[in-house]
Chain A
Amino acid sequence: MLSQEERQTIEEELSHYEVPHAVIIDALKAIQRHRGWVSNDALADLSEFLGVTVHELDSIATFYSQIYRRPVGRHVIRVCDSASCFVMGYESIRDRVFAELGIEFGETTPDGRFTLLPNPCLGACDHAPVLLVDQDLHEDVRPEAVRDLLADYQ
């Protein structure tokens, strides 16, 4: 069952579209905001509410990189790995984050604190290299600053 809040969010978004199917991406994101990730149960709940099959939902969910179909940590780190950040030292940042956390891209720390992912250009190229932790954009990141940066996220 979707929670009251989830339902309200989705219903609000539904009013934006001529065809209800369009709300699916918004709905998946809403569920993810509440539950952290989109599990099979979450798909079943959404399927029940929207009247769309779990197959169709999975087809859409698995296409989009920001919908998590596996559990994620309390915080999701997204390191920009596109051209400008690459020129400005992305690889050292990446290696430092790997070293600090002991995990690589696609993995979650054993304590469930961080999931680490690469991300295409975050649109802050004049302050490269950049990375996102949850909704916080960190710009002009230096390798030596990584540890303190991560320390803020428990």
Chain B
Amino acid sequence: MTITEKVDGMETPLTGNIRDDGTVLNLKEYERVGGYRALRRALRELAPEEVTKAVTDADLRGRGGAGFPTGKKWSFVDMSDQARHPKYLVANADEMEPSTFKDRFLMEGDPHQLIEGMILSAYAIGARYAYVFLRASYFRPARRLREAIAEAYAAGYLGGDILGSGYQLDLYLHISAGRYICGEETALLTALEGRRSIPRSKPPYPQVSGLWGRPTVVNNVETLCNVPHIVDKGSQWYRNLGRGQDAGTKLYGMSGKVNRPGLWELPMGASAREILEEHAGGMRAGHRLTALQPGGASSGFLAPEHLDVPMDFSSMGHTGTRLGTGTILAIDDQVCPVALIRNLEHFFAQESCGWCTPCREGLPFVERILTAIENGEGQADDLDRLHDYTRFLGPGNTFCAHAPGAMEPLETGLKIFGDVFERHITEGRCSWRH
């Protein structure tokens, strides 16, 4: 798979041990590079609350796209005697956000890193069971995770009385049967329960009523992979890894017509320009960058003039888009923006779970309007319609964030590529088609 560049001088805790040849780190190899050291120490010396404190102090934020502070998320779990048991820790490995490929890399290359992160996180919240909720079609990650879990059990890192600490944790791999909405944390839990994957309204939050109504924490794979390093080297160390306001490193990726598409672990706050020009080798000859999506299909377009903005949670907000997953899609001038946005909305309409009206009925309507425009059958007021829908399908108006996410590329696309849309309509054809 993807080879990351080892950038001189930068620490790359998440990917530093992952081999270039794509082979997996087995348990012995993982231990040799310091793996499970954090777990040993935590079980010996730290109370669960102290693990949570370390993660909170490190300012680790969710890497699944939302950026919610991880320690804070954990703190909502009832740790008192009245807590409902069993509690659950779930790794969201349902990576299906278009243009996103970072969690796959981590799971294929260093599955034990994820497992150790999960055990530590489970310990912090008092969970008795943990699941990796893995998307369908990720066959190699599935195989490698299965083997790694078996190795971990054999070595006593999972099961009863882990390392003689008295802590007990069983960890299972659950593989999904499709559907992007399973990546939404509450829909994921419902899918894990063996039901149709419909999101739940919050409150109540999963920490209060999650899997089978029990306290549950769902974290992204990349987020969990950070935990062993934080426990091992400390919160201060972690915070110092980041360049700007946000802590730690981030797996940034780039796809599209660049010279070297790939994945790189960089300090949090690296800019899109750095990623594009220094790591991805710039746009291919004959291709000009028109925009990029910073973090998956549900992130708004970033115009080229914002290339220098630090790609972290705080800074990105001002540009009208967000960090999202941090895997960037570079859009070149030979891609018709209308066609691309139609492709995105087709995806979102197709993946609607069907629960709430605006998403279920609004997204297909939007897709059809875009198809009409692309085919030269757009009507004069179609842009008003599209614009209205970007408001109508906004946050709070729908049941979950799926449709609002779908509207981010549409809203920003209408702004940045407004003239392209106009021409499609007035000319009655696509003049961008190559």
Contact = CB atoms under 8 A, between A and B. Distances in A.
Chains A and B in contact, CB within 8 Å: yes
Interface of A: 16-19, 21-26, 28-29, 59-60, 63-67, 78, 81-84, 86-88, 119-128, 132, 135, 137
Given A123-B95, A125-B99, A125-B261, A86 B340 contact: yes
Interface string B113-147: 00000000000000001010001111110000000
Contacts of A64: 176-179, 197
Given A22-B194, A66-B136, A87-B329, A82 B98 contact: yes
6 contacts: A18-B212, A19-B212, A78-B137, A82-B99, A123-B138, A128-B255
B192 interface: yes
Interface in B206-222: 212
Given A21-B195, A87-B340, A123 B100 contact: yes
Closest 7 CB pairs of A and B: A82-B98, A65-B178, A126-B261, A64-B177, A125-B255, A66-B178, A22-B194
Interface in B327-371: 327, 329-332, 335, 339-340, 343-344, 346-347, 350-351
Given A63-B196, A120-B351, A125 B253 contact: yes
Given A18-B212, A132-B137, A83 B347 contact: yes
B396 to A, nearest CB: 26
B293 A23 contact: no
B135 to A, nearest CB: 8
Contacts of B351: 120
A83 B343 contact: yes
A25 B194 contact: yes
Contacts of B101: 123-126
A78 B96 CA distance: 14
A149 B96 CA distance: 25
Contact of B179 (A22, A63, A81): A63
Interface string B48-80: 000000000000000000000000000000000
A88 B193 contact: no
B85 to A, nearest CB: 10
Contact of B98 (A16, A21, A24, A83): A83
A23 B192 CA distance: 9
A120 B176 CA distance: 14
Contacts of A135: 139
B1 interface: yes
B256 interface: yes
B343 A81 contact: yes
B194 A83 contact: no
A140 to B, nearest CB: 10
B104 A124 contact: yes
Contact of B96 (A19, A83, A120): A120
Contact of A18 (B86, B138, B330): B86
